[in-house]
Amino acid sequence: MGVNSNRVEHFACPETNLIIPAELVAMPPLQIHKVCLPPEQSTFQKLKHRVSEIFFPDDPLYRFKNQTWFMKLILALQFLFPVFQWGSEYNVSLLRSDVISGLTIASLAIPQGISYAKLANLPPIVGLYSSFVPPLIYAILGSSRHLGVGPVSIASLVMGSMLSEVVSPGEEPILYLQLAFTATFFAGLFQTSLGLLRLGFIIDFLSKATLVGFMAGAAVIVSLQQLKGLLGIVHFTSKMQIIPVISSVLNQKDEWSWQTIVMGFGFLLFLLTTRHISIRKPKLFWVSAAAPLTSVILSTLLVFLLKSKAHGIPVIGHLPKGVNPPSLNMLYFSGPHLAVAIKTGIVTGILSLTEGIAVGRTFAALKNYQVDGNKEMMAIGIMNIAGSCSSCYVTTGSFSRSAVNYNAGAQTAVSNIIMASAVVVTLMFLMPLFYYTPNVILAAIIITAVIGLIDYQAAYKLWKVDKLDFMACLCAFLGVLFVSVPLGLAIAVGVSVFKILLHVTRPNTMILGNIMGTQVYQNLIRYREASRVPSFLILAVESPIYFANSTYLQERILRWIREEEEWIKANNGSPLKCVILDMTAVTAIDTSGIDTICEIRKMLEQKSLKLVLANPVGSVTEKLDKSEILETFRLNGLYLSVGEAVAYISSLWKA
Which residues have C-beta within 8 Å of that of residue 595, sequence separation ≥ 6? 550
Same domain, residue pair 430 and 538: no
d(CA 313, CA 231): 10
Q: Over the stretch 83-113, which tens digit does the pLDDT of each residue have? A: 877 777 788 888 888 898 888 888 888 888 8
Query: What distance, in Å, lies between the first and last C-alpha atoms of the chain?
Result: 11
Per-residue pLDDT band for 58 (boundaries 50, 70, 90) equals low
- Positive or negative torsion for Cα 627, 633, 639, 642: negative
Question: Which residue type does 212 have?
Answer: V
Residue 266 inside a domain? The answer is: yes
Whether 353 has a pLDDT exceeding 60, the answer reads yes
State the chain's mean pLDDT as an integer. 84
pLDDT of residue 199: 76
Q: What are the phi and psi torsion angles at 378 (to 5°)?
A: -65, -40
Q: What is the structure's pLDDT at 4?
A: 43
In a domain, 72, yes or no: no
C-alpha 158 chain-centroid distance = 18
Note whether 306 and 430 are same-domain residues.
yes
pLDDT the model gives residue 225:
81
The sign of the torsion formed by the CA atoms of 594, 595, 597, 602 equals: positive
AA identity, residue 152:
V
Q: Work out the average pLDDT over 160-178.
A: 90
Q: What is the CATH number of the domain that holds 532?
A: 3.30.750.24
* Cα(305)–Cα(62) distance, integer angstroms: 65
The count of other CB atoms within 10 Å of the CB of residue 430 is 14
Could you tell me if residue 11 is inside a domain? no
Q: Is residue 80 part of a domain?
A: no
- Give the residue-averaged pLDDT of 599-618: 91
Q: What is the DSSP letter of 430?
A: I
Provide the whole-model pTM.
Answer: 0.75
- pLDDT score at 314: 82
Total number of domains in the chain: 2
- Say if residue 19's pLDDT is above 50: no
The tens digit of pLDDT for each residue in 417-440 reads 999 999 999 999 888 888 888 888
Q: How confident is the model at residue 192 (pLDDT cuts 50, 70, 90)?
A: very high
Domain termination site, one of 464, 499, 534: 499
Pick the last residue of a domain from 464, 483, 499.
499
Which residue in 610, 601, 608, 600 sits closest to 645, CA to CA? Answer: 610
pLDDT-derived band at 16, boundaries 50, 70, 90: very low
Q: Report helix angle 591-606 to 550-571, nearest 10.
A: 30
Same domain for 389 and 515? Answer: no
- Please check whether residue 516 lies inside any domain of the structure: yes
Q: How does 311-324 read in b/e, with b if 16+ C-beta sit within 10 Å?
A: eebbbbeebeeeeb
Residues 421 and 547 in one domain: no
Q: Are residues 432 and 569 in the same domain?
A: no
Once rounded to an integer, what is the mean pLDDT over residues 470-498?
83
Burial 88-97 (b: 16+ CB within 10 A, else e): eeeeeebeeb
Q: Is the dihedral of CA 555, 561, 566, 570 positive or negative?
A: positive
Tell whether 211 and 333 lie within a shared domain. yes
Assess whether 404 and 531 both reside in one domain: no
Query: Using CA atoms, how far apart are residues 524 and 513, in angstroms rounded to an integer?
Result: 5
More confident residue, 56 or 497: 497
| pLDDT one-digit tens code per residue, 447-456 | 887 787 788 8
* 480 shares its domain with 527: no
Residues 642 and 515 in one domain: yes
63, part of any domain: no
Band of residue 23 on the pLDDT scale cut at 50, 70, 90: very low
568 in helix, strand or coil?
A: helix
Both 441 and 495 in one domain: the answer is yes
- Is pLDDT above 70 for 20? no
According to DSSP H, which parts of 367-466 are helical?
Answer: 373-388, 399-407, 414-425, 439-450, 456-465
Of 179, 222, 509, the residue nearest 344 (C-alpha): 179
Average pLDDT over residues 394-423: 87
Look at residue 238 in the predicted model and tell me its pLDDT: 66
Same domain for 361 and 236? Answer: yes
Identify whether 561 is part of a domain: yes
Any domain includes 83: no
How many other CB atoms are there within 10 angstroms of residue 124's CB atom? Answer: 21
- Residue 16: helix, strand or coil by DSSP? strand
Question: What's the domain range around 105?
Answer: 90-499
Q: How confident is the model at residue 29 (pLDDT cuts 50, 70, 90)?
A: low
- pLDDT over threshold 50, residue 497: yes
From 432, 467, 499, give the residue that closes a domain: 499
Q: Which helix (H) or strand (E) holds 536?
A: strand 536-541
CA atoms of 481 and 654, how far apart (whole Å): 68
- What does the angle CA 581 – CA 592 – CA 201 come to, to the nearest 5 degrees? 95
pLDDT cut 70: percent of the chain above it: 91
pLDDT of residue 21: 44
Residues 327 and 381 both lie in one domain: yes
